[in-house]
Structure 1
Amino acid sequence: MSATIKDVARLAGVSVATVSRVLNDLPGYSEETRVKVLDAVAELKYQPNAIARGLVNKRTQTIGVLFPSVSSAFSSEILHGIEEAAQERGYSVVVCNTAEDGKRTMKYLQVLREKQVDGIIFSSGVLKEEYDQTLRAMEVPVVLVSTKSEYADIPYVKVDDHQAAYDACAYLIRQGHRRIAMISGPAHDEIAGEPRIAGFRAALADHGLPAGEAPVLDGRFHFAGGCKAAEQLLRQSPEVTAVFAAGDEMAIAVISTAARLGIAVPEQLSVIGYDNLKLAEMCYPPLTTVAQPLAEMGRLAAAKLMARIETGQPEGSEIMPHQIIGRGTVSTRE
């Protein structure tokens, strides 16, 4: 049976309140008493309960993170940055998989409320009104990562999706491509769908190409959806010489589908992705892509959240830099 704080107090010959003050580094005891308490803690192998400790300092040193797909390479890279920053500051991380449609979000918000987390990082989804109301009722700070919201008091950390997509399309144009298609996310997705489609079309228009005629197919931001969209595109639009895929999994799906159809990448078809996941270096040819600094985004979001937890001061939003990483899937057209 695990030792309790009462056991520690009894062995040290002090009150429970004194043990609590020592463990939480509060004043009101002598150096001799502090040594007695710490010796008792070591002898009993006492592990302070985070919730009980929170009753004293009003914090549990725990943050919650909500992802729509915890197992995805995208989420894991952001989470890596979050956990690194949290561990450095003595915080634990509770990760919740809300599912792609967010159907478990309300359930997990209740779980995080019961665990008395000090703050929440919300990632890669729309912060719906019902979520916002629940979060405000919890009275804990919130930071968004790879998403944004209409609520000005909730800071976010993300890249400029419109500009990043614009730059990806412009890169293909500079390589001499004129017949360019896009495998996108859902057009109704206001976070990563619509802005990337708009950026792609803006680049075409600004370079004198017919933006309205360029094929745009929904690949649902995953490999299976990308394969389906790529097959439809390559069979129906054989004149296309380059594809911008708004996610690396979809870009790899284009490469895979092209190989199955006997289309050589990049000799016959150039492909550029988006995210710069580790998968981008593992496929063949290695994928040219727009890099988001995912781990750094996670680290910064966690740092902003912990600063707000500890100071109570508001934190500003931040647009992170993106860059194009040239590898082996884009060729130059004369």
Structure 2
Amino acid sequence: MTPGSPSLFQYQDTVGKLRLYIEQEKLRHGDRLPPERKFAELFGVGRPTVNKAIACLIAEGFLRRDGYKLYVAGSPLTAPKATHIGVLCPHPLHKKQRIFHNLVEAAHDVCHLAKVGFTPMLSVDGPQQQEQLSEMLKLKTDGIVIWPHPDHDYMETFKRITDRNIPLVVNDCNWGPFDYVGVDNFAGIQTILEHLEKQGHLHIAYVTKHMSYPNVEQRCEAYRYLAARMFSESSPGRVYQIPLESEESLPEIIKKIQRKDKEVTAICCSHDMVAIEVIRACLQQGIDVPEQISVTGFDGIEAGETCHRPLTTVCQDFYQMGLLAVDLLIRRIRMKHIRHAAQIQQIRVIPHLVVRSSTAPAPQKSRRRPAATARKHN
């Protein structure tokens, strides 16, 4: 689905058209409406879109059903209570990663169509964002969508929000039993490893940091699982973690890989910033990228396009994830009284591969698959 495509928000536009139809036809409480089929023809949309729009108006108490018949349940001239949401995300210049504005841009686009007010709040760290959440609760906001900082524990606060029956959608990072929209980490790692396999790489190392971050934990688990099935038996054990307190240790890790795992021809990294540093460390040590070692990242940040060797990576569509998160939040607010719609939603968006010059075919001598692994792979 292309970001911003009409199909994603047609039902919200249809909600407005239904209200306008009722007002123009001067329908009152108890008046019967035409069937869904008529509205689909009138508005030029599919019946599922009309059905979704009607469900929203029923949830607001504006319409009611009696079997297959649809009736006006409230005054069409009485505007519903204005909805207002909070949108919290890290500052776009924080750590020089311009990815977080996509959530604010998406919130603007969705809220404009849905006629919902929103307050964006930017933060530089977890404690500041925690204060913003407390402020949102004091303002009695109708719902919150948050892109949390990876190094802060939000579980207690999130539980307090949902216990107060305030809809909450978490963007990017899956913190457990809450509505969530983020990347499919398993699919992303699989895409990268399949790309490396096609280029003849059979001996791959994995470099990561911030293992306490749920996304990065999931990527490492995906690597171990897939590497055991796709490559040599030693690949799952080739996981190197950069200590949080020392960025200087990365060159030592590269030296260790060269010394201990001379067969390695590719390094898969937990995210793009790690991959960029790996490329820099390799070049500083006279290791050519990608002729001697191919390097891949994960995320698709802008810095990956302009680093020493433009980075092969799987790109997340941050704007689309923002669209889906805000849309889910608004549906939660407008349909909160519909019991069968209350199930927690966990939406994972599959990233797409972008091949640049940090990867190349493996040296011919490294393409021979060990006999035991070859049998397992086949």
TM-score normalised to structure 1 length: 0.71
1:256 to 280, 290, 314: 280
Deviations 1:116-155 (A, max 9, x none): 322111224477431123213543211111122432xx32
CA 1:80/1:264 → structure 2, altered by over 3 Å: closer, same or farther? farther
Unaligned runs of 5+ in 2: 1-19, 24-78, 365-378
Q: Counterpart of 2:174?
A: 148
Give the counterpart of 2:326 among 302, 306, 309: 302
Distance in 2 between the 1:206 and 1:65 partners? Answer: 40
Q: C-alpha separation between the residues in 1 aligned to 2:249 and 2:221?
A: 19
Aligned residues: 272
Report the identity percentage. Answer: 21
Tell me, yes or no, if the aligned pair for 2:174 and 2:215 is still in contact at 8 Å.
no
- In 2, the alpha carbon distance for the partners of 1:322 and 1:195 equals 15
1:275 correspondence with 2:299? yes
Determine the C-alpha separation between the residues in 2 that align with 1:74 and 1:237: 31
Q: Work out whether residues 273 and 288 of structure 1, in 8 Å CA contact, stay in contact via their aligned partners in 2.
A: yes
Is the contact made by 2:144 and 2:169 (CA closer than 8 Å) also made in structure 1? yes
**CA–CA distance in structure 1, aligned partners of residues 128 and 350 of structure 2:** 32
Q: Distance in 2 between matches of 1:140 and 1:66?
A: 18
Which runs of structure 2 are paired with 1:90-109 in the superposition (5 Å)?
90=115, 91-97=117-123, 99=125, 102-109=126-133
Pick closer, same or farther for the CA change 1:161–1:130 going to 2, 3 Å: same
- Measure, in 2, the Cα distance between the counterparts of 1:170 and 1:321: 15
Deviation, structure 1 residue 230: 3.2
Alignment correspondent of 1:242 = 266
Relative to structure 1, is the Cα distance of residues 256 and 77 closer, same or farther in structure 2, using a 3 angstrom cutoff?
farther
Give the CA deviation at 1:73. 2.5
Instruction: Please give the alpha-carbon distance, in whole angstroms, between the structure 1 residues aligned to 2:188 and 2:179.
Output: 21
- Measure how far apart 1:332 and its partner are: 0.3
8 Å contact kept, 1:113–1:138:
no
Check the 8 A contact 2:162/2:168 in 1, yes or no. no
1:328 paired residue number: 357
1:18-167 to 2 correspondences below 5 Å: 58-59=81-82, 61-67=84-90, 71=94, 72-90=97-115, 91-97=117-123, 99=125, 102-124=126-148, 125=150, 128-151=154-177, 154-167=178-191
**2:212 corresponds to 1:188:** yes
Which amino acid is the alignment partner of residue 257 of structure 2? Answer: S
The match for 2:253 is 233
Counterpart Cα distance in 1 of 2:106 and 2:307: 24
Shift in alpha-carbon separation, 1:83–1:282, aligned structure 2, 3 A: farther
* Alpha-carbon RMSD: 2.9
Amino acid at match of 1:319: R
SS at match of 2:100: helix
DSSP-derived class of the 1:103 partner: helix
- In the other structure, the counterpart of 1:319 is 348
What TM-score, normalized by structure 2, do the two folds share?
Answer: 0.64
Return the alpha-carbon distance in structure 2 between the equivalents of residues 96 and 138 of structure 1.
24
Q: Which one-letter code corresponds to 1:283 in the other structure?
A: C
Q: Give runs of aligned pairs for residues 146-225 of structure 1, distance below 5 A.
A: 146-151=172-177, 154-189=178-213, 191-209=214-232, 210-218=234-242
CA contact (8 A) 1:68 1:123 kept: no
**Structure 1, gaps ≥5 residues long:** 1-24, 28-55
Contact 2:269 2:296 in 1 (8 A): yes
| Aligned equivalents of 2:81, 2:312: Cα separation in 1 | 48
In 2, the alpha carbon distance for the partners of 1:158 and 1:89 equals 22
The answer on whether the counterparts of 2:92 and 2:98 sit within 8 Å (CA) in structure 1 is: no
Change (3 A) 1:212 1:281: closer
For each residue in 1:205-259, what CA deviation from the matched residue of structure 2 results, as whole angstroms up to 9, or x when unmatched?
A: 1024113431322376xxx96x535312212221232111111121111222222
Given that 1:164 and 1:199 are in contact with CA atoms closer than 8 Å, whether structure 2 keeps it comes out as no
Cα 1:211/1:249, change in 2 over 3 Å: same
